Amino acid sequence: MRLSRNLLALGAGLAIAQAQVAQAAAAAPDCLSEGEMNALVGYALPSVIDGAMKACSPHLSPNGYFATRGGEFLGRYASRKDANWPLAKAAFLKLGSSKDAKLADTVKDLPDAAVQPFVEAMVSEMVGDQIKPDQCTAIERGVRILSPLPPENTAELITFVVLLVDKPKAGKASSLPICQAARPGIGAK
């Protein structure tokens, strides 16, 4: 199945974040449910979008989608962060516990108000640092194409794409510890 370049460009931010946690995730004892993955994506999307907008604004038209509607788009996604946080936090803790269990326990005990800004800034910065100027037009177009979808549908669509792309292959595990039960109908073996 050939995925559209625009959808992949939008998912690039998530792939960047995924690459950063892949080593830790490979050894994670607990897998992520589809709900946790959706919440993780839904929670991270505003930071991904923010990072992309910041990185791309010097390379895009002042009359383009990011310049004229990006703030509104970002606001719609940011308004869902609180709803996504409980499951997203569980997913972040699962991903982080395999790398440093003591740090994960410390983070688990911190108030959410202290953890959330750190996670958001980290994701936004990672995305912004990885985007190349020649990717900006495609990323902006992908965001514009997805803009009519409700944020929860976009998160679910991106989760679906990640499950398609990041499935276990013969002799090789996926880079994210996604529970096998989260992969029905995707062709994971």
Q: What is the mean pLDDT of residues 58-85?
A: 95
Could you tell me if residue 67 is inside a domain? Answer: yes
Could you tell me if residue 187 is inside a domain? Answer: no
pTM above 0.85, yes or no: no
Contact 5, 138 (CB under 8 A): yes
Could you tell me if residue 146 is inside a domain? Answer: yes
Could you tell me if residue 39 is inside a domain? Answer: yes
Nearest to 179 by CA among 33, 78, 9, 76: 33
Q: What DSSP string runs through 142-154? A: HHHHHTTS-HHHH
pLDDT at residue number 61: 95
| Beta-carbon contacts of residue 141 (< 8 Å; ≥ 6 apart) | 6, 9, 65
Could you tell me if residue 98 is inside a domain? Answer: yes
Could you tell me if residue 176 is inside a domain? Answer: yes
Q: What is the mean pLDDT of residues 60-74?
A: 96
Structure tokens at 158: 């991106």
Could you tell me if residue 106 is inside a domain? Answer: yes
Q: How many structural domains compose the chain?
A: 1
Could you tell me if residue 186 is inside a domain? Answer: no
Taking only the tens place, the pLDDT of each residue in 138-153 is 999 999 999 999 999 9
- Domain boundaries, position 75: 5-181
